[in-house]
Structure 1
Amino acid sequence: MNVAVVGAGSWGTALAIQVGRNGHRTRLWERHPERAERMQVERRNPRYLADVELPSTIEVSSDLAWVLEGAGVCIEAVPSVGLREVLPALAAHLGAATVVVCATKGIEVDTLLTMDEILEQNLPKGQPLVTLGGPSFAKEVAMGLPTAVVVASRSTEANHRAAEALHGGFFRVYDTEDVTGVELGAALKNVIAVACGVSDGAGLGTNARAALITRGLSEMSRLASARGANPLTMMGLAGLGDLVLTCTGDLSRNRRVGLGLGRGQTLAQVLAELGQVAEGVVTARSAWQLAQREGVEMPITEQVYCMLYEAKPVGEVLRDLAGRGRRSERG
């Protein structure tokens, strides 16, 4: 199978490595020609995952038309803020039968569209679409460590082709038809991870972290259900699995944002040190907008939004969350 991977950040590179390891002919698109040439020559991504060698099955190029030529599967792994910029060229060069796998996570600000909805609106009508979710740090995927993910599509055939490209070695791929649930699980857990990082950074202990994970899952489930998702999806890889990993793992960029804030750094300082995209920062705003539109109560998401966008002090955020009135756990 010929596979194209659009986006050579850490996640796109890791997915290209996994597909290439499976023996598929893989073309990876890096938008900057000089970076693409360096990756092709050095056989690694010096900016991300510099310690992992690219399999011989991978070719790197800045020519998107060439990367997409003859691809049976295209894995789109561009950060959410840059997705629309890439779509016109992507739409122009995709084959009609090419299965597009959305590996971007997030909810667009103001439009409140999930990434699959943006793709559906901007790619040719009838383009097969699949969403990828589940607990999967890029570095561990690139290293070949055991990982389980889920692909979601309304097309059984598209799910099968996406899974065929990705499944292999210690990388297991499950499937579901619940696109909305996988999209929202992948996006919302990043916001909860920021909250958990704040709690850990402030030294509030593991009880507090567990409470935030559990009540965060409740928030995610309420919004996903309001949007028509299967509530059980939030109990699976795209929900609970991804949430636990992102809230507790040291490789989590969103948790690291929270850790810095909890230790007294400003958001600007944290993001400068991070040097990579933390999707939870953008999604905190769009998730809060979506919750308001849908009439869904999401107190943790609300407080993360206030902290990031209204400069609400961490101490006040923690006091307001702890000071909420009693209620039924399932209410």
Structure 2
Amino acid sequence: MRIALIGAGSWGTAVAGLAAQEASEVRVWAHEESCAAGINTNHVNPGYLTDYTLPENVIASSDIVWALKGADGIIFAVPSMHLRSVAKAARHDIAPDTPVLCLTKGIEPHTGLLMTEVIGEEIGHPERIGALSGPNHAEEVCQGALSAAVIAAEDPHVAAFFKDVLISPAFRVYVSDDITGVEMCGAAKNIMAIICGIAAGSGLGDNTLALIMTRGLAEISRLVHARGGDPMTCMGLAGMGDLVATCTSEHSRNRMFGVAFAQGVSLEAYQERRHMVVEGAAAAMSIAELARSLDVDAPLTFALDHILWHGGSIAESLEHLTDRFPTSEFYGINE
């Protein structure tokens, strides 16, 4: 069995290693030729997870046609801002019945589309596209730390296929049919992680972080419900599980950006320094836009969007949030 892994960032690299345990060959597409050369020569990605040695059956190229040729399954792991263009470039080399799994988390600006929907628009046959999400830091997964994820797909055979490819004693895989809920959770939790980072970087304590996480989970549940997903998904791996990991871990680029931002580091400077995309920053803009279009109350998302993209201050946004009068704890979910 051959798996094509489109994207050679940290998560794509870790998942390539997982897939290599079951597949006879994993072909990785890397945007940079130097990245592909490092994987092929030293079995190490020179840009990400540089302490991790990939299995020998993981090979790479900057030629996407080569990576896709003869693939029995395809996994997309590119940043959300590049997903559409990469899927478009790959469309003519993907057979209509090849199962596809999306690791990318986010909402497309202006369209409000989920990442699987973006891929589906470009390559067709969206029913064969699934999404994976959960509390998984690549730095721990690649070292064999016990972890778990959920794969959601409209077609149960797609979920079962990728479950068989990725599951191991250390990486537990559950399945779901709620693609909308799983993807909305995966995108929105990055927003809450940045806010938790800002709170921590501003010197606020554990009570505040618990408040942000729990009210953030309620906000995500309202968004999931309005978008047509199941709010119960927010209680699982893609929701609460990923939220806890992303809001508390030193591996979380979203949380760590929030800490740096509170200390005066700009988004542009942070991304350039870390050579990583802060997905929650883009999600703040696109999910705020989506929430307004769906008439969903999303105060935390609106606050971060205002701070990052509209010149608002942290103090101003905190004052606005604390001026709100608390109402029913779970409003907007079962209405």
1:180 equivalent in alignment to 2:180: yes
Tell me how far apart the structure 2 counterparts of residues 270 and 56 of structure 1 sit (CA, whole Å): 33
Equivalent in the alignment of 2:200: 200
What is the deviation of 1:203? 0.7
Tell me how far apart the structure 1 counterparts of residues 45 and 178 of structure 2 sit (CA, whole Å): 33
1:110 equivalent in alignment to 2:110: yes
What is the identity, as a one-letter code, of the residue corresponding to 1:273?
R
Tell me how far apart the structure 2 counterparts of residues 287 and 126 of structure 1 sit (CA, whole Å): 22
What is the identity, as a one-letter code, of the residue corresponding to 2:314?
V
Equivalent in the alignment of 1:246: 246
Alpha-carbon displacement from aligned partner over 1:185-215 (angstroms, at most 9, x marks no partner): 0000001111100000001100000000000
Identity percentage over the alignment? 39
Instruction: Describe the shift of the 1:267–1:125 C-alpha distance in structure 2 as closer, same or farther (beyond 3 A).
Output: closer
Checking the alignment, whether the CA contact within 8 Å between 2:188 and 2:283 is kept in structure 1 is yes
What is the identity, as a one-letter code, of the residue corresponding to 1:64?
I
In the TM superposition, structure 1's runs of 4+ consecutive aligned residues that sit over 6 Å from their partners are none
What is the deviation of 1:23? 4.9
Query: Which segment drifts farther, 231-240 or 317-326?
Result: 317-326
Query: Which segment drifts farther, 22-31 or 220-229?
Result: 22-31
Equivalent in the alignment of 2:274: 274
Matches within 5 A, 1:71-220: 71-125=71-125, 128-220=128-220
Tell me how far apart the structure 2 counterparts of residues 169 and 222 of structure 1 sit (CA, whole Å): 35
What is the identity, as a one-letter code, of the residue corresponding to 2:110?
D
Unaligned runs of 5+ in 1: none
Checking the alignment, whether the CA contact within 8 Å between 1:190 and 1:279 is kept in structure 2 is yes
What is the deviation of 1:63? 2.0
Normalised TM-score (structure 1): 0.97
What is the deviation of 1:26? 0.9
Query: Which segment drifts farther, 99-108 or 62-71?
Result: 62-71
Equivalent in the alignment of 1:70: 70
What is the identity, as a one-letter code, of the residue corresponding to 2:183?
E
What is the deviation of 1:97? 2.2
> What is the DSSP-based 3-state SS (H/G/I as helix, E as strand, rest coil) of the residue aligned with 1:164?
helix
Alpha-carbon displacement from aligned partner over 1:136-159 (angstroms, at most 9, x marks no partner): 111111111111000000101111
Tell me how far apart the structure 1 counterparts of residues 126 and 105 of structure 2 sit (CA, whole Å): 22
Equivalent in the alignment of 1:287: 287
1:41 equivalent in alignment to 2:74: no
What is the deviation of 1:53? 0.4
Query: Which segment drifts farther, 210-219 or 35-44?
Result: 35-44
What is the deviation of 1:89? 2.6
What is the deviation of 1:271? 2.9
Tell me how far apart the structure 2 counterparts of residues 138 and 174 of structure 1 sit (CA, whole Å): 18
What's the RMSD between the two structures over aligned residues?
1.3
What is the deviation of 1:262? 1.8
Tell me how far apart the structure 2 counterparts of residues 164 and 95 of structure 1 sit (CA, whole Å): 21
Checking the alignment, whether the CA contact within 8 Å between 1:217 and 1:239 is kept in structure 2 is yes
Tell me how far apart the structure 1 counterparts of residues 2 and 272 of structure 2 sit (CA, whole Å): 37
Tell me how far apart the structure 1 counterparts of residues 83 and 3 of structure 2 sit (CA, whole Å): 19
Tell me how far apart the structure 2 counterparts of residues 21 and 53 of structure 1 sit (CA, whole Å): 13
Tell me how far apart the structure 1 counterparts of residues 144 and 236 of structure 2 sit (CA, whole Å): 22
Tell me how far apart the structure 2 counterparts of residues 320 and 226 of structure 1 sit (CA, whole Å): 24
> What is the DSSP-based 3-state SS (H/G/I as helix, E as strand, rest coil) of the residue aligned with 1:21?
coil
Tell me how far apart the structure 2 counterparts of residues 46 and 9 of structure 1 sit (CA, whole Å): 10
Equivalent in the alignment of 2:233: 233
Checking the alignment, whether the CA contact within 8 Å between 2:151 and 2:173 is kept in structure 1 is yes
1:322 equivalent in alignment to 2:322: yes
Query: Which segment drifts farther, 317-326 or 36-45?
Result: 317-326
> What is the DSSP-based 3-state SS (H/G/I as helix, E as strand, rest coil) of the residue aligned with 1:132?
strand
Unaligned runs of 5+ in 2: none
Aligned residues: 331
1:257 equivalent in alignment to 2:292: no
Tell me how far apart the structure 2 counterparts of residues 125 and 316 of structure 1 sit (CA, whole Å): 46
Query: Which segment drifts farther, 35-44 or 47-56?
Result: 35-44
Normalised TM-score (structure 2): 0.96
Equivalent in the alignment of 1:27: 27
Equivalent in the alignment of 1:5: 5
Instruction: Describe the shift of the 1:264–1:89 C-alpha distance in structure 2 as closer, same or farther (beyond 3 A).
Output: closer
Tell me how far apart the structure 2 counterparts of residues 235 and 219 of structure 1 sit (CA, whole Å): 13
What is the deviation of 1:60? 1.1
> What is the DSSP-based 3-state SS (H/G/I as helix, E as strand, rest coil) of the residue aligned with 1:4?
strand
